[in-house]
């Protein structure tokens, strides 16, 4: 973990690169606060900049969902519809472990700023795209920046705030992630209805620029350069392996079957991931130290993060399409119908974060949250083509309550359980597995939906008529319910697994400089 230290009058070696004209920001003179001694006001200022970065990255996971139909019709390439989302998820997922390790070596503040710049360039170019292929490529560039934003926002909070107090502030971050995930479809629909699909990407520019300025002026992390090597071989293996695997899963999801083409991507991807595991056992500076998986808190939390991504994106990805195509509402209204989930996330994310800081315990929140998530997914299997707004709001509210209770607490648990030198990679792992779960879950559950929609359509056509819209609506809803039915045991597995999460005493400010975390379990 980067330590917050006193600045000397002399600049660091990194600051001297390029002299006074260096494009990299130079820390202002003066001594930054010691770890754990930031005031509440200072922390809120730092968080405002970090939250803007996190908002950008998580918002763009969902904001295009209500704009995809318009975009694909504009370019007359409906066949490439899903790749606008897939390209972003692929690069953001694959790059996440790299940012954790690189920031441990070279300092989080600058790498976070570089991530914002990459994201903003990708956003501007996405808005200027003149073809579907250009848009997909620029969305991939956006995702490359997003991988750093999602990882380093949580890691920097880990640098600044002791674990005992961290839940209070990361509750706000959990709320930001939840807000952006739910508001994304609403904002995307509004911009498409009132302006142009290009503003779905342009809207990132002012937010990102403000975040960049705030981080540069407020955050005072002084990083001591480490004489270590970047694991180039491990980086190439993990990025290429995850990328090929996700492409294979996406192809299978679109085809609603495991095709030869899907295997042609997935099998080499799995082989490269296996090679990555082999290599990481031997690398001097591994991207993901495999020894961390011997820590039960680390292993259980990351598994829960994967499941969270699967169920969260599964709960969100189908509903805008259901509301627009089956219920006949506009893109803007379909986004508004998701707000009960946002309300649930806000209510429990902020309150649970405060209570974790007050009580120093987190396990019970994870158990309660995964239980509510399971109940919420179970209710969503009962959605019909005539389900009214209020029952749907209740279902989404329950899911939001569950996610808000434990989503951000997993980060606190991992940061508290790993050695401080692994803070960046530990934080990155939670983001990585959650994003990977979302990418895999959306493809797999999408395949379940398509397969069941196609198989049930003839029966509904015999009942309602071959050309009846009711037949199509019932078939789609049946497929969506089956997808939620497949997600239900996954959510239930998270509830069972939550009992295995070991509760470790949260460190206070006095423990921030420890080389290893406290391992004192509490009942």
Task: Give the domain ranges of the chain.
Answer: 34-223+285-506, 231-284
User: Beta-carbon neighbour count of residue 350 at 10 Å?
Assistant: 17
Reply yes or no on domain 34-223+285-506 having CATH 1.20.1250.20.
Answer: yes
What DSSP assignment string belongs to 229-272?
---HHHHHHHHHHHHHHHHHHHHHHHHTS--HHHHHHHHHHHHH
Q: Which residues pair with 504 in a beta bridge?
A: 521
Confidence of residue 170 (pLDDT cuts 50, 70, 90): low
CA-to-CA distance for 54 and 116, rounded, in angstroms?
Answer: 10
Tell me what pLDDT residue 32 has: 40
| pTM score | 0.73
476 three-state secondary structure: helix
- By residue count, the chain amounts to 523
Q: Where are the alpha helices (DSSP H) in 382-468?
A: 389-406, 409-417, 423-464
List of residues 6+ apart from 278 with CB closer than 8 A: none
CB 424 within 8 A of CB 100: yes
Tell me what pLDDT residue 28 has: 36
Q: What is the pLDDT of residues 264-280, one digit of tens each?
A: 998 999 999 999 989 98
CB 263 within 8 A of CB 315: no
CA-to-CA distance for 147 and 97, rounded, in angstroms?
Answer: 8
The stretch 399-407 carries a mean pLDDT of 89
Tell me what pLDDT residue 25 has: 35
Tell me what pLDDT residue 116 has: 92
Identify the residue with better confidence: 19 or 373: 373
């Amino acid at each position: 973990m980067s330590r917050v230290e006193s600045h000397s009058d002399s600049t660091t070696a990194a600051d001297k690169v390029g002299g006074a004209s260096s494009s990299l920001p130079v820390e202002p003179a003066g001594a930054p606060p010691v770890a754990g001694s930031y005031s509440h006001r200072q922390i809120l200022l730092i968080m405002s900049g970090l939250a803007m970065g996190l908002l950008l990255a998580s918002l763009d996971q969902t904001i295009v969902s209500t704009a995809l139909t318009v975009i694909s019709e504009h370019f007359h390439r409906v066949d490439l519809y899903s790749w606008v989302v897939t390209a972003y998820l692929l690069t953001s997922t694959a790059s996440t472990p790299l940012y954790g390790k690189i920031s441990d070596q070279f300092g989080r503040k600058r790498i976070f700023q570089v991530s914002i710049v990459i994201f903003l360039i990708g956003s501007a170019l996405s808005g200027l795209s003149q073809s579907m292929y250009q848009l997909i490529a620029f969305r991939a560039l956006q995702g490359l920046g997003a991988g750093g934003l999602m990882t380093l926002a949580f890691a920097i909070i880990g640098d600044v705030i002791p674990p005992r107090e961290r839940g209070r502030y990361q509750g706000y971050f959990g709320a930001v992630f939840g807000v952006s995930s739910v508001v994304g479809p609403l904002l995307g629909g509004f911009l498409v209805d009132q302006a142009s699909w290009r503003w779905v990407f342009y809207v990132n520019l002012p937010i990102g620029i403000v975040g960049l300025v705030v981080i540069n002026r407020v955050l005072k992390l002084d990083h001591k350069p480490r004489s270590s090597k970047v694991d180039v071989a491990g980086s190439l293996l993990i990025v290429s392996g995850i990328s090929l695997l996700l492409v294979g899963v996406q192809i299978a999801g679109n085809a609603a079957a495991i095709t030869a083409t899907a295997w042609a991507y997935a099998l080499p991807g799995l082989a490269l991931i296996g090679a990555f595991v082999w290599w990481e056992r031997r690398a001097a500076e591994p991207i993901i130290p495999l020894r961390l998986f011997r820590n039960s808190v680390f292993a259980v939390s990351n598994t829960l993060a994967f499941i969270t991504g699967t169920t969260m994106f599964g709960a969100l990805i189908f509903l805008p399409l259901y509301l627009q195509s089956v219920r006949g509402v506009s893109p803007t209204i379909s986004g508004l119908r998701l707000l009960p989930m946002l309300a649930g996330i806000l209510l429990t994310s902020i309150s649970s974060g405060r209570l974790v800081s007050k009580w120093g315990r987190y396990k019970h929140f994870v158990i309660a949250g995964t239980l509510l998530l399971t109940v919420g997914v179970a209710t969503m299997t009962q959605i019909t083509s005539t389900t009214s707004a209020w029952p749907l709001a209740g279902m989404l509210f329950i899911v939001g309550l569950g996610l808000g209770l434990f989503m951000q607490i997993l980060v606190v648990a991992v940061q508290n359980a790993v050695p401080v030198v692994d803070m960046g990679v530990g934080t990155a792992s939670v983001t990585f597995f959650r994003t990977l779960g979302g990418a895999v879950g959306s493809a797999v559950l999408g395949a379940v939906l398509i397969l069941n929609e196609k198989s049930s359509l003839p029966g509904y056509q015999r009942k309602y008529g071959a050309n009846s819209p009711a037949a199509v609506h019932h078939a789609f809803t049946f497929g969506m319910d089956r997808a939620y039915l497949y997600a239900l045991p996954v959510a239930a597995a998270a509830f069972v697994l939550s009992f295995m999460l070991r509760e470790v005493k949260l460190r206070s400010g006095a423990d921030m400089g420890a080389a290893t975390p406290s391992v004192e379990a509490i009942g």
